[in-house]
Amino acid sequence: MGQLVWLITGCSSGFGELLVHHVLSRGDLAIATGRKLDKIKHLELAGAAALELDVTRPQQDIDDTVAKAIAIHGRVDVVVNNAAYIVMGGWEDIEYDQILAQFDTNVFGSIKVTRAVLPHLRERRSGTMVFIGSLSGWHGHPFVGAYAGSKFALEGLVESLSRETEAFGLKTLLIEPGRFRTKLLSPGNLQVMQSKIPDYAEASREHANGLAKEDQTQPGDTQKAAKIIVDLVRKEGCAAAKDVPFRFPLGPDCFSTIKEKCEETLNLLQEWKDVINSTNHDSGTDIGSN
């Protein structure tokens, strides 16, 4: 595969930052973006181009920034939607505006960035769209419903996108990491709403303390994950001579949780199949009759 141009969001830390370094190390070109340009200046020193991009800005602003990105090297081959954060709070504690803000970054930001670059990829009949999902797109943990909801939403949106665009030669890749040692749980990226409702207070506090303790102790190695993602896009290393699937879980915790959910779902379908399949109109019945 020849040299690729990558446009990556959320590059101030975590997967975004590491992907820039891995992309450059493989001889590709990287355009790093972040909400604040000073937070990604160090990536320019590493050889990447850097652009300020806040995914919560209006569509026109994002269109303009993506146009600048395309102009840097004359094209974009890979777009990585990585920008995200977590709000922790129970259903009765988290505010509506916080839920909107969670979706604005984690879901609508990905939509706007993709909408901005998709006409370019479609016209060229070439390109890869990468979305960083989560184990939380399969399993809704308590007190992080807004985050899980955003990742569940991303799953459906991106699956639909994949089917809409595959006829144009475009590849869509949904990465589903488990618990990796990024800064997602750091104070700057994790917003905590401790419950003030007695029935939830203890469980909420324990969950918040658990997330705080897990920060920078997660089992997943982000360097290994970033290498795999680049391999999947470039069809090298672990992906050499293989058909790369649409969904790609990462991490033993992701493997076990998804496996368990799939088995539970298959068991449910088997146990209740007669009831599930009993809802069609009886043969010969007039649908319009009372």
Low-confidence ranges of the chain (pLDDT < 70): 183, 185-186, 188, 216, 284-290
Sequence length of the chain is: 290
The residues, ordered by sequence, that sit 6+ positions from 128 with a Cβ below 8 Å of its Cβ are: 77, 78, 79, 170, 171, 172, 173, 233
CA angle 59, 154, 263 (to 5 degrees): 175
pLDDT of residue 211: 79
pLDDT of residue 284: 61
**24 burial via Cβ count (<10 Å: 0-12, 13-18, 19+):** middle
Distance CA 160, CA 188 (A): 32
Would you please indicate which residues are annotated as catalytic (active-site) residues? 147
Residue 40 in contact with residue 46, Cβ under 8 Å? Answer: no
pLDDT of residue 286: 57
The domains located in the chain, with CATH, are 5-86+105-181+221-263 (3.40.50.720)
pLDDT of residue 287: 55
At position 203, the amino acid (one-letter code) is A
pTM of the prediction? 0.92
Q: Which residue has the tokens 């905590």?
A: 192
pLDDT of residue 185: 65
Structure token digits, residue 37: 């340009």
pLDDT of residue 207: 80
Reported as a single tens digit per residue, the pLDDT across 28-44 is: 999 999 999 999 999 99
pLDDT of residue 288: 57
